[in-house]
Amino acid sequence: MLTKRIIPCLDIKDGRTVKGTNFVDLRDAGDPVELGALYAKQGADELVFLDITATVEKRKTLVELVRRIAMHVNIPFTVGGGISSVADVNALLENGADKISVNTAAFKNPQLITALANEFGSQCVVLAIDTKKEEDGEWYVYLNGGRTKTDTKAMTWAAQSVELGAGEILLTSMNHDGTKQGFALDITKAMVENLPVPVIASGGGGTMAHFKDVFEKTNVDAALAASIFHFNEICIPDLKAYLEINNILVRK
């Protein structure tokens, strides 16, 4: 049976991890390759590398980094951040990335999703949505790393993107991100039930019980987190053992 997936996310700037870690056994805690390989060894099911490098000239660094990751990491990984063309994606996939994620560029130019799906297949096109629940109780799409509000509802955009060819949704709740108070169960459940593609829940995972809750209550396919893994507040083998005891199917 297909297992639920646990996905650590690494933010990358100029080829280095941004937030730092407190893994004492890493020679270079800022090296995304070393950290990624450690997570793979610990039992992470996939990795997401999110590039927040601002400048175009530095983006060449990302392709080189992807190549090094593919060389040393023996599990699948997704690369996102600033991707806006078929050529960008081709370079990343050719160097060993398994999937790419698009966000703002896809919202501004939805045909990008179709172009990527036609060229490389839907299975490698992840649509990332940053969403926030407003006072009217609705979840809206935010762009540019959460800085720009739109009037589009997250569910509407997600459904449209799947029609266009997105093969997976990476859903980040801005209300929950960084709070360690648990994942956004309502919007996650709505997406899982209404979309024919896998959904990754992101934002708010602070305890092992939060992961159990999101899998049990929403049947989401995967859960993503960053700092709780980087700072070793939750280690992946413990998390998987906990989920298994709670009858959630995970890979061991």
Partner 1 sequence: MNTVIIKYNAGNIQSVLFALERIGVQAEVTDEKERILRADKVIFPGVGEASSAMKYLKERKLDEVIKGLKQPVLGICLGMQLLCKHSEENDTDCLGIVPVKVKKFPAGKDCKVPQIGWNNIYGLKSPLFKEVPSNSYIYNVHGYYAEKSDHTIATCNYGVEYAAAIVKDNFYGVQFHTEKSSVVGEQILKNFIEL
List interacting residues with partner 1 (CB under 8 A).
1-3, 5, 40, 45, 67, 70-72, 74-76, 93-96, 98, 120-123, 167-168, 196-198, 221-222, 251-252
The gap from C-alpha 60 to its chain's centroid, in whole angstroms, comes to 21
User: Nearest approach, Cβ of 94 to partner 1 (angstroms)?
Assistant: 6
User: Nearest approach, Cβ of 131 to partner 1 (angstroms)?
Assistant: 21
Give the burial string for 181-192 (b: 16+ CB within 10 Å, else e): ebbbbebbbbbb
Complex with partner 1: residue 94 or 134, whichever CB lies closer: 94
Catalytic pick from 11, 88, 177, 221?
11
User: Nearest approach, Cβ of 152 to partner 1 (angstroms)?
Assistant: 24
Complex with partner 1: residue 104 or 122, whichever CB lies closer: 122
Complex with partner 1: residue 66 or 129, whichever CB lies closer: 66
Q: Among 30, 7, 35, which residue's Cα sits nearest to residue 19?
A: 30
Q: Among 75, 77, 121, which residue's Cα sits nearest to residue 99?
A: 77
Is 130 considered catalytic here? yes
Give the burial string for 102-125 (b: 16+ CB within 10 Å, else e): bbbbbbeebebbbbbbeebebebb
| Cα separation, 193 vs 6, whole angstroms | 20
To 10 degrees, the CA torsion angle through 121, 105, 98, 78?
-140
Complex with partner 1: residue 71 or 209, whichever CB lies closer: 71
| Cα separation, 252 vs 250, whole angstroms | 6
User: Nearest approach, Cβ of 221 to partner 1 (angstroms)?
Assistant: 7
User: Nearest approach, Cβ of 29 to partner 1 (angstroms)?
Assistant: 23
Q: How far apart are the first and last CA of the chain?
A: 13
Complex with partner 1: residue 77 or 107, whichever CB lies closer: 77
Catalytic pick from 45, 51, 88, 130?
130
Complex with partner 1: residue 177 or 221, whichever CB lies closer: 221
Beta bridge partners of residue 126, listed in sequence order = 101, 168
Q: Two tokens at 66?
A: 């992807």
DSSP string, 147-185: TEEEEEEHHHHHHHHHHHT--EEEEEETTTTTT-S---H
Is 177 considered catalytic here? no
User: Nearest approach, Cβ of 151 to partner 1 (angstroms)?
Assistant: 29
Residues annotated as part of the active site:
11, 130
